[in-house]
Every structure is written in C-alpha cells, then in structure tokens.
C-alpha cells in the first residue's frame, strides 16, 4: 500500500490537480467580490473639492523656506528642560 502512494500519480499529478482545481475556486471568490461591491457609490475627491469649495494650501518652495529660516537667529539659544510625563512640572529645575 505504501508503494501505491509513492507513485508519480501521488507525487506529481495529484498535487498539481489540487492546485489547479483549488486555485480556480479561490479565484472565483475574488471575482465574486468584484461583482458584489460593484454598485457601491464612490466619491471623487475633485468633485468634493468643487462642491464644498475647499481651498488648497499654496505649495511652498525650498527657496521660500530658506528665506524664512535665514531671518532666524540660531546662534543665541538656551537649552530649556521640559518635564517628563511622570515628573511634576513644578519641581523641574532648568
């Protein structure tokens, strides 16, 4: 009986057929989802922006950000310790 299970049929053909037939049933489930959710309303972001008159932020360039940072004084600063979540804020010394 063990010799029967060692044949090419059980080693090659049967796993291949299980893969082919089982794979077709597996793919069928994905196809069913496609048709199940076909009638659900979808929303387009561009339509919603026009409908509610949403304003987009102006994109800033790297040069504009550089101009903002150029005016900051980065040489004069003080290191201030903030309290940790488990510490009392009144007992923290700088």
- Dump pLDDT digits (tens) for 36-84: 888 888 888 888 888 888 888 889 999 999 999 898 888 888 888 888 8
Residue 73 has a pLDDT of 85
Dist CA 79 CA 49 (whole Å): 44
The closest alpha carbon to 56, from 46, 66, 71, 67, belongs to: 46
Residue 56 forms part of a structural domain: yes
Element spanning 15, H or E:
helix 14-36
- pLDDT one-digit tens code per residue, 6-31: 888 888 898 999 999 999 999 998 88
By residue range, what is the domain housing residue 21?
8-71
Residue 26 forms part of a structural domain: yes
Q: How many domains does the chain have?
A: 1
CA 60 to chain centre: 25
Residue 92 forms part of a structural domain: no
Model-level pTM?
A: 0.34
Residue 38 forms part of a structural domain: yes
Residue 94 forms part of a structural domain: no
Residue 94 has a pLDDT of 59
Residue 77 has a pLDDT of 85
């Amino acid at each position: 009986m063990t010799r029967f299970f060692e044949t090419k049929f059980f080693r090659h053909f049967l796993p291949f057929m299980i893969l082919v037939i089982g794979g077709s049933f597996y793919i069928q489930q994905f196809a069913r989802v496609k048709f199940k959710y076909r009638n659900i309303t979808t929303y387009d972001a561009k339509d919603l922006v026009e409908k509610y008159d949403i304003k987009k932020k102006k994109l800033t360039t790297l040069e504009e950000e550089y101009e903002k940072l150029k005016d900051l004084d980065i040489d004069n600063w003080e290191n201030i310790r903030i309290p940790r979540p488990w510490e009392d804020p009144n007992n923290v010394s700088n």
